[in-house]
Amino acid sequence: MRRWHAEWAWVGGAVLPHVLLEAEGDRFSEVRAGAPAPSDAVRLPGLTLPGFANVHSHAFHRALRGRAQAGRGTFWTWRQRMYAVADRLEPDTYRALATAVFAEMALAGVTAVGEFHYLHHRRDGSPYDDPNAMGRALIDAAADAGVRITLLDACYLRGGFDAPLDGPQIRFGDGTAAAWRDRVAALLDDVPAHATIGAAVHSVRAVPPDEIAAVAAHARAHALPLHVHLSEQAAENTACLAAHGVTPAALLDGADALGPRTVAVHATHLTDADIALLGGTATGACVCPTTERDLADGLGRTGDLAAAGSPLTLGSDQHAVIDLLEEARALELHERLRTRRRGHFTAAELLTALTATGHAALGRPDAGSLTPGATADLVTVALDSVRTAGADPAEAAVYAATAADVTHVVNAGRPVVDDGRHLLVPDVPGALASAIEAVTRPRTEGEERR
**Cβ neighbours of 129 (radius 10 Å):** 6
Which of 317, 323, 377, 405 does the annotation list as catalytic? 317
Name which of 403, 397, 407 is nearest 324 in CA terms.
Answer: 403
Buried b (16+ CB within 10 A) or exposed e, 25-63: ebbbbebebebebeeebbebebbbbbbbbbbbbbbbbbb
How far apart are alpha carbons 209 and 250 in whole angstroms? 11
The answer to whether residue 266 is catalytic is yes
The answer to whether residue 130 is catalytic is no
Which of 117, 120, 202, 266 does the annotation list as catalytic? 266
Name which of 181, 180, 240, 232 is nearest 205 in CA terms.
Answer: 240
Mapping DSSP onto H, E and C, the string for 416-436 reads: EEECCEECCCCCHHHHHHHHH
How far apart are alpha carbons 428 and 107 in whole angstroms? 9
Q: What share of the chain is helix, strand, coil (3-state, %, to 5)?
A: 40, 25, 40
How far apart are alpha carbons 436 and 399 in whole angstroms? 32
115 membership: H or E segment, kind and range: strand 110-117
Cite the active site residues.
266, 317
